[in-house]
Structure 1
Amino acid sequence: MKPANVIQERVLEFLKQYPPFSLIAAEELQRLAGQVRVLYLEPEQVLFKQVDTPHDMFYLVRQGSVRLEQGPEGAQRLVDVCDEGDVFGARALIAKKDYSSTATAAEETLVYGIPITLFEPILHHNPEVALYFAAGFAAGAPVQQGRMQETNQARRGLSGYTSPQPLHLEDVLTLDTNRNKVTCTAATSIRLAAQIMSDKDSSFILVVDEQEQPTGIITDTDLRKRVVAGHVSIDDPVEEVMSAPVISIHPNPHMAEALLMMMRHHVKHLCVTADGSINSAVQGVLTEHHLLLAQGSNPAILVQEIRQTQSIDNLPAIRDRAEELLQKYLEQEVNIAFIANIITEINDALVVRALQHAESILGPPPLHYCWLSIGSEGREEQLLRTDQDNALVFADAHAADEKEAQAYFVKLAAQVNEVLVKCGFERCPADMMASNPKWCQPLHNWKSYFHSWIHEPTEKALLNASIFFDYRPVHGDFNLATQLTNYIYEHIQQEHVFLPYLAKHALQSPPPLSFFRNFIVERSGEHKDQFDIKLRAMTPLVDAARVLTLDNRVAGLNNTFKRFEKLAELEPQNAELYQEAAMAYEIMMRHRALSGLRNRNSGRYINPAQLNKLERQTLRNTFKPISDVQELLQVRFQLNYLG
């Protein structure tokens, strides 16, 4: 019996634990392990220098750590730290160029040298291994365009997860026009329209003009509420009872798009027209039934239950079901923007139902008002049930009337906040809630707040601005929010120093390029040795997107990755960077949500020791756009010259 090669077996067992070697077939990996060189490095020993000719191998840290530094000798800057399981020195394998950094042992270190001649055939014939390097998971690999896109692709492809029951939200919905195009003219009698609906076994009939463009729609609900109830005669024309205008959509929409439109407009029918507008010919109608048939778990049903429930005591159980839906969407790799939109619609429905309940107890509001979501919910990014952030603006009036109105609205907000607590949303520790009289104010006081924050940008003012600039109207008189927005943008244009100060505030968190090392994690307190993904990674991108959007005078766009996508359109010269930042933020949102669901918390604090190598590498890649965006802010607003 041939004696086993003990060193080869040890190398093999180690390689199996880490990508990309864990992705290689057993037989190939066995051969590779037999040719690996084991190197011992003393502390501060240099393995290779920047601009050295590439070695005939790349490296894997077995034990210890290796610093990668760039720049002239004596003035080098740290670009990465490789620890156990990290691949580095892959530039020779991928780019066939001189080393772009210097590799130095930070402590006593063992590294494995992987022969390039043996590994190249594996790289060329194994797409998963190639994707690992293309995504930049190997430290010191050349930076490539589309890095975040490939990182995201690698995150999905290398995680080993396969969805047992795909949701097909990107599937296209097609129409049978013979069945789903039921029309009449405005002069048609209600009696005849009802007969046509009955003959066609249809829950609707579209009202069209001579060009077959839609002018209205009648549904079973319209007939019950307006005709059967006796408000109009069945011999009256349909224009007396039709709902107008219709909500239109373009032909063959994706299921996700149709679902969101129904939820946002509170309708069960979408009119499909030739170009998607009401100014083109009707092709048919998409109904909620189409979506129910196409998708087993429909979030529109949850929203409908929230809106229609007679007792608010039912709301917590409905919101719990939304959490289950969130988990399924995340696990099945549903687009993060769609997930965020869905959860936002559900959360908004909760707020509206709570407000309606509070009004039924307190009576009609004394003045027009608008409920504002702020913070992550204002940005449509609150996937998990974290703490509440909200405010309330009401119409201006005489001082006495405003005082009386404020007392009413504070009580209203307190009841809403309590309902949300029961649904799993904790109170804001900083009391940034509408039940706090400070954040429940008439319009002129809100204008005064923003005037002070813009024209006197102290550190506290900038903190408040960064929170309240992301407000989003949810319920009530949206015109109040519009007036406030117009006022804000007018004064930002007047006060030229404000945006540079806001940009400086956005640079307070340094980019976490190597968060798994001890000097980046929390040093003390409840979250000692944990990484704060919100403060150190997500907030820098949120703040940068906000400043750059304000600088481009884009109003009404709060969502961080949508802001970056819009910026990519407005600044083609920086499009690639903004697209990278948007994808990085989406990856971090997904990771935080999964972490929160797994640990039953906010997902904000992550224990690096619990991350596998692939998760660490994925997150590390998302940090590169942070430093690039912050550098752009530094240059654009000339922050080196700002006192």
Structure 2
Amino acid sequence: MNTIAEQIADFLKEYSPFNHLTFEELSEIANSIRVINLDKNKELFQVNDILHDSFYVVASGVINLSVIADAEETLLNKCNAGDIFGLRPFFAKNNYMMTAKAREETIIYAIPIVTFRPFVANNSQVLNYLLESFAINTRNPKDKANLFGKLISDTVYYSDQQSEMQYFQSLSYTVSPLITKKSTTAQEASLLMTESLKNNILIIENDLPVGIITDTDMRSKIATGRYPLTVLVDKIMSSPVITVMENISLAEAQLLMLKHNVTHLCVTLDGTDKSAIKGVINEHDLIIAQANNPGVLIKEIKRCQTSKEIKLIRDRLTDLIQTSITKNIPISHIFNIASEINLAIIKRSVELSIFELGSPPARFAWLSIGSQGRKEQLLLTDQDSILIFEDVAADKYRDVKDYFLKLAKKTTSILEKIGYEFCPNGHMGSNLIWCKSLTDWTKQYDSWMNTPGENSNEISSIFFDYEIAFGEQKIEDAITNIIFKNAKNNTLLFDFLGNDALRKNSPLSFFKNFNVEDDEPNKNKFDIKTRALLPLIDGARLFALYFEIRGINNTFQRFKQFAITDPKHSEVYLKCAEAFLTLSKFRTLEGLKNDNSGQYINLEELTKTDREKLKNALLPMKELEDLIKSKFQLTQFS
């Protein structure tokens, strides 16, 4: 081994996860490492860059990791010597979601993922460390500071890694903790705990937490006679208290309790012991959260053998959505969780069909289209899907298509039993025209996009929002390439889609009153889907095609991305992003309340404040409409 590689190996073995590897393994890695010198303020990668083939370790200097949220740069984390960053290529397929920039002159080690992957596969400690680092984005084991203060925000989080879901699941906690002063005796503290049925009491000084006493302390220190009942609490309390911010997730709380060997965490305003107390998290809170943990639900789905079993889990997802909204968890975060669970349900339904029919005769992809394709399906709405199988020899085509139609019919039937109704427009893989080969699909998209309007009764924009639920990633990529190739400089298409986006009836009248339905059964109700959400969804899809933004299908995330891509109009895009979340929340609450799709809002039942909030969320639509008109100079289909 050459001396440079030797120096690198010596450096790495001081830090996790490399300290879990043998010297031979480290030497092999060190030999493949590239050394990168970065000048001050030089970027290694930025938001939306294509993923690199390596991840990185800071050798010396400092790297700042930042994101753009609401068109402002926010510093997420600083990486010092020994810190790992840039792990996204390990766990996700979409582009970087943050920027890495040298804060001073910095030396970086680039470790090729292809070299490192075998060591991850064979060593669970290394894998857990990487998962944890990717999820919480910190970490130098020598750093004794609070490791969990700097979390990736909801707007940034997106991952294909289901096992990470628990890193982003918020916790409920006790919001009115029991508190007392240092001058209290153990006897007085135990009486307070008994009267209030609490198993812990926080000790405060100047209103700040300095210690905690739990049932365990009382048993091990007082009941055993080690200390008399008259002892002051500051002699038996555990100190310092481990403090956290209120947005701590389930996994982070578990890791902290394990790390510090404690059973309680104190929630404070800024996560330190120098700010106001907000509550206490105990082990019982973790157990409750675990039962509805998205990761747990996904594992259970993978084991299901019947549609009946899956349906029970889908019902628990509804509860999870309901609780999350009540707890004021951001709806963008709820979209992520629900979409991962919906995806697991679709995937399992396809698997169960394959178990029954036998192995597929060709490779294929099952794509969810429409709201699930955009990761926006919170309610039990109808199912939308397409099936694409690889090209096969002409004499095999009929048999192959026959198999996939049977597969699709079985799968859609399972999904219907789970509670996803059949699509009334027949947009499902079980429909003869939406189950075909890659070449046939290529012709279909070519026809839609190059002669829009000619088959306008057939084109449905939901076919442009899709997500692979099962099968070959390469098939989905091929469709994406066809779409973006056809979209390039395609004035006719943008003219058609632009007019289509503007064709919806206006949500507000000239006098800024709600335009409501005239006919029964929804007379005087407001159609939030058609009049409010669809114009935003259509507008976001139109601009995503125009700006060639791949891999982001979610309407909210699309608008946030446009603010970065087209900063001149960032204000309009950001208003639309917020409006979309507000409107989605209204629709979801309506749907949960009435056990339906939430499409029609009963305005009579809204409070005055909510009516105003709903009205304000409709205002950015006019600006979006004007932007579409000016950007696309609409003529042909106007």
**Inter-CA distance 314–368: structure 2 relative to 1 (3 Å threshold):** same
* 2:406 aligned residue (406, 411, 415): 411
1:395–1:442 contact (8 Å) kept in structure 2: yes
Q: Identify the residue that residue 185 of structure 1 maps to in structure 2.
A: 22
* 2:390 aligned residue (373, 387, 395): 395
With normalisation by structure 1, the TM-score equals 0.59
Q: State the alpha-carbon separation in 2 of the partners of residues 238 and 583 from structure 1.
A: 43
Does residue 541 of the first structure (1) align with residue 378 of the second (2)? no
Does residue 364 of the first structure (1) align with residue 359 of the second (2)? yes
**Which structure 1 residue ranges, 5 or more long, are not aligned?**
1-176, 190-207, 217-236, 271-285
Q: State the alpha-carbon separation in 2 of the partners of residues 187 and 545 from structure 1.
A: 52
Q: Identify the residue that residue 379 of structure 2 maps to in structure 1.
A: 384
Does residue 628 of the first structure (1) align with residue 623 of the second (2)? yes
Q: State the alpha-carbon separation in 2 of the partners of residues 310 and 602 from structure 1.
A: 28
- Structure 2 counterparts to residues 135-534 of structure 1, below 5 A: 183-185=20-22, 187=24, 241-242=122-123, 247=131, 249=134, 250-251=137-138, 252=148, 254=151, 264-266=161-163, 290=255, 295-296=289-290, 297-458=292-453, 460-461=455-456, 464-493=459-488, 495-514=490-509, 520-534=515-529
User: Deviation at 1:181?
Assistant: 9.1
CA RMSD of aligned residues (A): 3.6
SS in 2 for 1:361: helix
Does residue 598 of the first structure (1) align with residue 593 of the second (2)? yes
**Inter-CA distance 378–290: structure 2 relative to 1 (3 Å threshold):** same
**Inter-CA distance 259–319: structure 2 relative to 1 (3 Å threshold):** farther
Q: State the alpha-carbon separation in 2 of the partners of residues 598 and 466 from structure 1.
A: 29
Q: State the alpha-carbon separation in 2 of the partners of residues 537 and 459 from structure 1.
A: 27
Q: State the alpha-carbon separation in 1 of the partners of residues 612 and 635 from structure 2.
A: 32
Q: State the alpha-carbon separation in 2 of the partners of residues 600 and 269 from structure 1.
A: 27
Q: Identify the residue that residue 565 of structure 2 maps to in structure 1.
A: 570
With normalisation by structure 2, the TM-score equals 0.59
Letter in 2 for 1:365: P
1:593–1:603 contact (8 Å) kept in structure 2: yes
Letter in 2 for 1:495: N
SS in 1 for 2:328: coil
Relative to structure 2, which stretch is displaced further, 499-508 or 415-424?
415-424
Q: State the alpha-carbon separation in 1 of the partners of residues 156 and 486 from structure 2.
A: 38
Identical amino acids, percent of aligned pairs: 34
Q: State the alpha-carbon separation in 1 of the partners of residues 637 and 156 from structure 2.
A: 48
Does residue 557 of the first structure (1) align with residue 454 of the second (2)? no
Letter in 2 for 1:619: L
Q: State the alpha-carbon separation in 2 of the partners of residues 268 and 508 from structure 1.
A: 39
Q: State the alpha-carbon separation in 1 of the partners of residues 419 and 503 from structure 2.
A: 31
Relative to structure 2, which stretch is displaced further, 362-371 or 294-303?
294-303
2:365–2:470 contact (8 Å) kept in structure 1: yes
Larger Rg: 1
Q: State the alpha-carbon separation in 2 of the partners of residues 642 and 263 from structure 1.
A: 39
Q: State the alpha-carbon separation in 1 of the partners of residues 583 and 121 from structure 2.
A: 52
User: Deviation at 1:420?
Assistant: 1.3
1:462–1:502 contact (8 Å) kept in structure 2: no
1:263–1:303 contact (8 Å) kept in structure 2: no
Give every structure 1 segment of 4 or more consecutive aligned residues whose post-TM-superposition deviation is greater than 3 Å: 177-182, 186-189, 208-216, 237-248, 252-263, 265-270, 286-297, 459-463, 514-519, 640-643
Q: State the alpha-carbon separation in 2 of the partners of residues 377 and 507 from structure 1.
A: 23
Q: State the alpha-carbon separation in 1 of the partners of residues 577 and 156 from structure 2.
A: 24
User: Deviation at 1:517?
Assistant: 8.7
Relative to structure 2, which stretch is displaced further, 301-310 or 313-322?
301-310
Q: State the alpha-carbon separation in 1 of the partners of residues 166 and 323 from structure 2.
A: 26
- Structure 2 counterparts to residues 110-149 of structure 1, below 5 A: none
User: Deviation at 1:609?
Assistant: 1.9
Letter in 2 for 1:349: A
Q: Identify the residue that residue 611 of structure 1 maps to in structure 2.
A: 606
Q: State the alpha-carbon separation in 1 of the partners of residues 614 and 330 from structure 2.
A: 18
User: Deviation at 1:543?
Assistant: 0.5
Q: State the alpha-carbon separation in 1 of the partners of residues 623 and 586 from structure 2.
A: 21
Q: State the alpha-carbon separation in 2 of the partners of residues 483 and 417 from structure 1.
A: 24
1:516–1:608 contact (8 Å) kept in structure 2: no
User: Deviation at 1:492?
Assistant: 1.5
Q: State the alpha-carbon separation in 1 of the partners of residues 304 and 511 from structure 2.
A: 47
Letter in 2 for 1:595: E
User: Deviation at 1:426?
Assistant: 0.8
Q: State the alpha-carbon separation in 2 of the partners of residues 519 and 618 from structure 1.
A: 12
Write the deviation string for residues 48-106 of structure 1: whole angstroms up to 9, x where unpaired. Answer: xxxxxxxxxxxxxxxxxxxxxxxxxxxxxxxxxxxxxxxxxxxxxxxxxxxxxxxxxxx
**Inter-CA distance 378–516: structure 2 relative to 1 (3 Å threshold):** farther
Report how many residues are paired: 414
User: Deviation at 1:510?
Assistant: 3.5
Letter in 2 for 1:521: V
**Inter-CA distance 462–451: structure 2 relative to 1 (3 Å threshold):** farther
Q: State the alpha-carbon separation in 2 of the partners of residues 428 and 606 from structure 1.
A: 22
Q: State the alpha-carbon separation in 2 of the partners of residues 530 and 560 from structure 1.
A: 25
Letter in 2 for 1:391: I
Write the deviation string for residues 480-517 of structure 1: whole angstroms up to 9, x where unpaired. Answer: 01011111111111533211211011000143125999
Q: State the alpha-carbon separation in 2 of the partners of residues 521 and 307 from structure 1.
A: 44
- Structure 2 counterparts to residues 79-90 of structure 1, below 5 A: none
Letter in 1 for 2:343: D
Q: State the alpha-carbon separation in 1 of the partners of residues 314 and 470 from structure 2.
A: 19
Q: State the alpha-carbon separation in 1 of the partners of residues 509 and 579 from structure 2.
A: 16
SS in 2 for 1:391: strand
**Inter-CA distance 359–258: structure 2 relative to 1 (3 Å threshold):** farther
SS in 1 for 2:552: coil
Q: State the alpha-carbon separation in 1 of the partners of residues 416 and 526 from structure 2.
A: 27
2:165–2:295 contact (8 Å) kept in structure 1: no
Q: Identify the residue that residue 153 of structure 1 maps to in structure 2.
A: none
Q: Identify the residue that residue 37 of structure 2 maps to in structure 1.
A: none
SS in 2 for 1:520: coil
Q: State the alpha-carbon separation in 1 of the partners of residues 543 and 358 from structure 2.
A: 43
Letter in 2 for 1:264: Q
User: Deviation at 1:590?
Assistant: 0.6
SS in 2 for 1:376: coil
**Which structure 2 residue ranges, 5 or more long, are not aligned?**
1-13, 27-55, 60-81, 88-117, 139-147, 168-250, 257-285
Q: State the alpha-carbon separation in 2 of the partners of residues 485 and 262 from structure 1.
A: 19
**Inter-CA distance 606–536: structure 2 relative to 1 (3 Å threshold):** same
* 2:581 aligned residue (586, 594, 602): 586
Relative to structure 2, which stretch is displaced further, 490-499 or 261-270?
261-270
